[in-house]
Amino acid sequence: DAKTTQPTSMDCAEGRAANLPCNHSTISGNEYVYWYRQIHSQGPQYIIHGLKNNETNEMASLIITEDRKSSTLILPHATLRDTAVYYCIVSRDSTGNQFYFGTGTSLTVIP
């Protein structure tokens, strides 16, 4: 599976949009981009995933560049409860497939 690179940490003001970047320059054609987050020591929580097109759900938006070598997760109105470690994972969309969690981006939402 392709490797991803994320900034170690970011801050965001409460109520503002949080934009979390991820580089995945070696992504292959059948690999999806997934985003999960981990709040404190809880289990990781699924946020969103995509292949080529931009995606939006009730939690976030995912913007994937045309060459698919990078993506950005957008939390439109960050709250204090969004403080967490955010993981960008690239993997084949295959059931039973393992995910490789990197070190992620530690997002701190500041009041």
Binder of another protein out of 8, 29, 43, 67 (CB under 8 A)? 43
Distance between CA atoms of residues 81 and 89, nearest Å: 22
List Cβ neighbours of 61 (8 Å cut-off, separation of 6 or more). 48, 54, 55, 73, 74, 76
Shortest Cβ 44–another protein spacing (Å) = 5
Q: Which stretch binds another protein (CB under 8 A): 10-18, 19-27, 40-48, 68-76?
A: 40-48
Residues 76-105 that bind another protein (CB under 8 A): 87, 93-103
List Cβ neighbours of 67 (8 Å cut-off, separation of 6 or more). none
Residue 72 contacts another protein per CB under 8 A: no
Shortest Cβ 13–another protein spacing (Å) = 28
Token pair listed for 30: 């059948």
Q: Which of residues 37 and 68 has its CB atom nearest to another protein in the complex?
A: 37
List Cβ neighbours of 85 (8 Å cut-off, separation of 6 or more). 37, 38, 104, 105, 106, 107
- What residues line the site for another protein (CB under 8 A)? 34, 36, 38, 41-47, 49, 87, 93-103
